[in-house]
Amino acid sequence: MVVDGHWALLDMNESKVDYGIGVLPKYGEPFTTSQVAGASSVFAGTRHVEEAVELFAFHIDPRYVDLYKQGLWMPQEKKYYEDQAAIDSWTKNDAHPPEFRTAVVDYGRDHGVPDLRNRVKNLSAISSDVLTPALQELESGKRPAAEILKAVTPKITGMLQGWQHTQEP
């Protein structure tokens, strides 16, 4: 069993390995993180606003970019998770196994929650200054986990600044 993201489909398919996909076991309510992706944007100060917006719209559209059909990327627009024809346009091919629809599209649509990393203000500083060093110490095994976590909790709590504003697509 391998726990990975949707992007692994591209490599799995190229490897010719016989594989299947599914969801991880749930504990209480089912959920999966969503919105784990690289960021794409258009700079506000660009001299070529129309061209930049056109390029942005082109590169996130499965009709024009084959990386969606190949299994590397997942569409950003809701219609690609709700409308049957739109879903089929990027998933009905050899790169997406038959169970992809229920295990990824339906499950993500019905049980997806925004990824914590996209929402916590100041996460970069929390991670680099406090959390990563604590996890590295934890991995070394030189001190008990409870001791490390007890020491790091007030530091992280003191650095929390709330949530980034997020908007439903």
| 160, 120 contact by CB (below 8 A) | yes
Nearest to 167 by CA among 119, 101, 110: 119
| 9, 95 contact by CB (below 8 A) | yes
| 169, 78 contact by CB (below 8 A) | yes
Nearest to 49 by CA among 41, 40, 39, 59: 41
Lowest mean pLDDT: which of 25-29, 50-54, 103-107, 117-121? 117-121
Give the pLDDT of residue 86: 96
Write down the mean pLDDT value for the chain. Answer: 88
Give the pLDDT of residue 137: 93
Mean pLDDT of all residues in 129-154: 94
Query: pLDDT (tens digit, 9 = 90+) per residue, 83-128?
Result: 999 999 999 999 999 999 999 999 989 998 877 777 788 888 999 9
Give the pLDDT of residue 169: 45
Q: DSSP strand E in the chain: where?
A: 32-34, 112-114
Q: How far apart are CA 15 and CA 35, in angstroms?
A: 26
pLDDT-derived band at 41 (thresholds 50, 70, 90) equals: confident
The most distant pair of C-alpha atoms in the chain lies apart, rounded to whole Å, by 56
The yes-or-no verdict on residue 63 having pLDDT over 60 is yes
Domain ranges for the chain, please list them: 8-115, 123-159
Distance, CA of 144 to chain centre: 32
Beta bridge partners of 112: 32
Q: Is-above-0.85 flag for pTM?
A: no
Give the pLDDT of residue 32: 83
CA dihedral (40, 86, 96, 106) positive or negative = positive
